[in-house]
Amino acid sequence: MNLLPTTWTGLLYLFATVCFILALRGLSSPRTARRGNLIGAFGALVAMVTVFLSTALDNVLLILIAIAVGAAIAVPVSHRVKMTAMPQLVALFNGVGGGAAALVALLELRSSSGFGALLAVAFTVLVGAVSFAGSGVTFAKLQEMMTTRPVLLPGQRWLMGASLAAALVLAALVLATGQTWLAAVLLVVGLVAGVLLVLPVGGADVPIAISLLNASTGLAVAASGFVLGNVLLLVGGTLVGASGTILTQAMAAAMGRSVTGILFGALKGGSTAGSTAVSDRPVRSSSAEDVAILLGYAGRVVVVPGYGLAVAQAQHTMAELASTLETRGTEVIYGIHPVAGRMPGHMNVLLAEANVPYEALEEMDQVNPKMKTADVALVVGANDVVNPAAETSPGSPIYGMPILKVSDAQQVVFLKRSMRPGFAGIENELLYEPKTTLLFGDAKESLTKVLAAVKNL
């Protein structure tokens, strides 16, 4: 429909732009994060209504059906997904967005001319396709549909080089001829490149790869905004591209990694060390009652929660155990590693749900100096974030990541189900150390037993 004059359309798009900026601002602070997200959604709604009111569109019914289909897929999935599976869902949504941007650019090519516009089209097609395919691979890795370890195809370097060269040649051809079929081939090359780019990324680094692909999709959307002459797409995409770049760096820094190292480290053959083989050296395992005695008579306990706490949904039991210990006079603090769990902030969210006071959660830098004065470090379903291999074995995939130094504590107690390693797939020497005690079993069950035993002390 053409109900809105051009100026009004522009103003409404500007309004949506401001909503997006305010959304990002809001999302940067815990207090305003949720409101920020809603402001962003409202801006998107206004923009979508505006486009229907202001543009002469055919096929409106089909379009609305397509929107309904998209929403009907996305909303229930988003509602039902488990906390732990959220990162792969974000990856999935990012990928489809990239795919959509690539398709839009492909179709716009026929009505584009001029160097700038053609360049933007080629860029969007390529980057959107990389993002689509790359996100697909990250999804498969996180969903454990494939190995989480770095995958190196034979001749991976040559394949990467070849697809890069092909992409450049095709992009140049698109610029020269403006042929849609060439852009379609470019899209396919982009898909291949996306897969090749993400395959060598080790499991623990996948979230960083997702964040990077997210930023790329933002830039692709910005470029398609340039092609369409649409300011909202331009600004929205650019905001995501710019903030996503910063965010990727911040996330990498929190894991002690560099972004280039993550993407190209495996190519250089650095991070393929480590082994999934479970050795059969002796370990010291004990009963819930023994652990209860250790904890009940400790002066200070540092709890290190990890992915297993989330899987077992043991946060409430953990909080109850902590408060029981505190009434007995034991000081309990939580040492939160920035990448414990499967997404940054995972532990904070989980423990907040169990009403653990914010002050009891301490970040890595705060808690590490206190480890020496802790009687017990209680590691609940965590593994990689306390693995000394990060400090001692240069070949290991987690080498260089800062860890929580639980081995500084007098005693270390691990609650886990088996001797299996964690996300990064490497063994933890700490499990075999004399000061370590293991309590095997699901975290929630183990904690329930320990809690009961502490109450009987």
Partner 1 sequence: MDGVALLTIFVLAVFVGFEVVSKVSSTLHTPLMSGANAIHGIILLGSVIVAGQADSTWVLVVALVAVVLATMNLVGGFVVTDRMLEMFKGRGGER
Ligand X SMILES: NC(=O)c1ccc[n+]([C@@H]2O[C@H](COP(=O)([O-])OP(=O)(O)OC[C@H]3O[C@@H](n4cnc5c(N)ncnc54)[C@H](OP(=O)(O)O)[C@@H]3O)[C@@H](O)[C@H]2O)c1
What are the catalytic residues? 384
Task: Please choose which of partner 1, ligand X, none residue 101 contacts, taking the beta carbon within 5 to 8 angstroms, the exact cut-off set by kind.
Answer: partner 1
Q: Between 248 and 324, whose beta carbon lies closer to partner 1? A: 248
Residue 339 contacts ligand X per CB under 6 A: yes
Pick one of 316, 407, 442, 452: the residue that binds ligand X (CB under 6 A): 442
Write each residue from 262 to 301 as x if it is in contact with ligand X (CB under 6 A), else as -, in one continuous string.
----------------------------------------
In order of 217, 223, 298, 320, the CA distances from 328 in angstroms are: 53, 61, 10, 13
Q: From the CB of 79, what's the least distance to partner 1, in Å?
A: 7
C-alpha 450/C-alpha 453 separation (Å) is 5
- Picking from 450, 457, 201, 142, the residue whose alpha carbon sits closest to that of residue 303 is 450
Exposure of 398 in the CB half-sphere (CA atoms within 13 A): 28
Q: Between 95 and 274, whose beta carbon lies closer to partner 1? A: 95
Quick check: 337 and 385 in contact, CB under 8 A? yes
Q: Is 137 helix (H, G, I), strand (E, B) or coil?
A: helix
Task: Please choose which of ligand X, partner 1, none residue 146 contacts, taking the beta carbon within 5 to 8 angstroms, the exact cut-off set by kind.
Answer: none
Residue 351 contacts ligand X per CB under 6 A: no
Q: Which residues contact 260 (CB under 8 A, 6 or more apart)?
A: none
Quick check: 333 and 363 in contact, CB under 8 A? no
Residue 88 contacts partner 1 per CB under 8 A: no
Task: Please choose which of partner 1, ligand X, none residue 21 contacts, taking the beta carbon within 5 to 8 angstroms, the exact cut-off set by kind.
Answer: partner 1
Token pair recorded at residue 222: 């910005």
In order of 238, 417, 431, the CA distances from 282 in angstroms are: 55, 16, 10
Task: Please choose which of ligand X, partner 1, none residue 416 contacts, taking the beta carbon within 5 to 8 angstroms, the exact cut-off set by kind.
Answer: ligand X
Q: Which stretch binds ligand X (CB under 6 A): 117-125, 202-210, 227-235, 260-268?
A: 202-210
**Where is 413: in which H helix or E strand?**
strand 411-416
Residue 344 contacts ligand X per CB under 6 A: yes
The conformation of residue 298, written as its DSSP 8-state character, comes to -
Q: From the CB of 427, what's the least distance to ligand X, in Å?
A: 10
C-alpha 325/C-alpha 424 separation (Å) is 32
C-alpha 297/C-alpha 157 separation (Å) is 57
Task: Please choose which of ligand X, partner 1, none residue 260 contacts, taking the beta carbon within 5 to 8 angstroms, the exact cut-off set by kind.
Answer: none
C-alpha 229/C-alpha 6 separation (Å) is 13
Residue 416 contacts ligand X per CB under 6 A: yes
Q: From the CB of 285, what's the least distance to ligand X, in Å?
A: 12
Q: Between 227 and 303, whose beta carbon lies closer to partner 1? A: 227
Residues that bind ligand X (CB under 6 A): 204, 206-207, 255, 306-308, 311-312, 339-344, 346, 381-385, 415-418, 420, 422-424, 442-443
